[in-house]
Amino acid sequence: MSTYSPQFYPGTTQPAVNRSKYINPRYTWEKLRSISDEDIVTLLGHRKPGEAYSTVHPPLEEMKEPDCPIRKLVEPTPGAKAGDRVRYVQLTDSVYLSPMAPYVRTWAVNWRYRGLDAGVLSGRNPIEGRERDVEKATKELIETEVFDPARTAVRGYTVHGHALRLDENGLMFDAVRRYAFDKEKGVVTYIKDQIGVPLDKNVEVGKPLPEEELKKRTVQFRADHIKITDDKDLLGFINRIFELRARSGFNPEEVKSL
């Protein structure tokens, strides 16, 4: 009997290969920077660093829930075990060669993290879950190659700006001005948390990647870089999806002949 091997994403061009790689949980994202746990908590703005987690129910081991076979099969996440409240992080990606895109990150989150609910909008990616589980995922999402300090941003609200021009330092526009470029250090620094509340202590998220490096790491197709029409395997995959949807919408039996 053959072993099922998920494809994750079709295509042979660099953006398609990057998509498949970033989604695949067997691939370890390359760590490019280090952000302290305290800074992650500060950036999210849900609690103060060192403050105890708020809970919505007692720890599971104290609740004496009725016997259930599903509970025996599914191991609860650390946040669920402790009874953490549900919190979130929201990221947005510039259309100018950001390493990630909301829909690709959502696939990656669904494959890589248990207990997190990722959503997709036009230019934003809200990720919800138990508070300590969200913090753990946020740290990995910011410290690794799927985040660029200039082309990816943490924005709890007023996310608009991902499709606007970049400033002189290559940073995405942010109407709330949550971050700034430190010219002396060459790093991007958050001066407000994701909600837009001014910080007592700024949070550095590292140096922006060079343009050529972004081109190697991005999951985005662009007319001025690699066009989606350059990838015949991916284009055939997309065309087949639309053809199947159209044909089987009128006659489901058509699927068998395609």
CATH of the domain at 55: 3.90.320.20
Residue 28 domain-assigned (yes or no): yes
Q: Give the pLDDT confidence score for residue 114 in this predicted structure.
A: 95
Does residue 237 register a pLDDT over 90?
Answer: no
Residue 252 domain-assigned (yes or no): no
State the total domains in the chain. Answer: 1
Helix (H, G, I), strand (E, B) or coil at 126: strand
Cβ proximity of 151 and 96 under 8 Å: yes
The alpha-carbon radius of gyration of the chain (Å, integer) is 21
Residue 97 domain-assigned (yes or no): yes
Residue 38 domain-assigned (yes or no): yes
Q: Taking the alpha carbons of 45, 136, 92, 97 in that order, is the dihedral positive or negative?
A: positive
Residue 167 domain-assigned (yes or no): yes
Instruction: Name the DSSP class of 118.
Output: E
Residue 43 domain-assigned (yes or no): yes
pLDDT band at 1 (very low <50, low <70, confident <90, very high): low
Strand order from edge to edge, sheet including 117-118: 117-118, 124-130, 86-93, 152-154
Separation between Cα atoms, residue 151 and residue 93, nearest integer Å: 6
Separation between Cα atoms, residue 191 and residue 200, nearest integer Å: 8
Report which residue type is found at 155: R
Q: 215 vs 49, 63, 101, 146, CA distance in Å?
A: 36, 51, 14, 13
Q: Give the pLDDT confidence score for residue 258 in this predicted structure.
A: 65
Residue 248 domain-assigned (yes or no): no
- The domain in which residue 217 lies consists of 14-226
Q: What is the pTM of this model?
A: 0.91
Does residue 245 register a pLDDT over 90?
Answer: no
Cβ proximity of 99 and 146 under 8 Å: yes
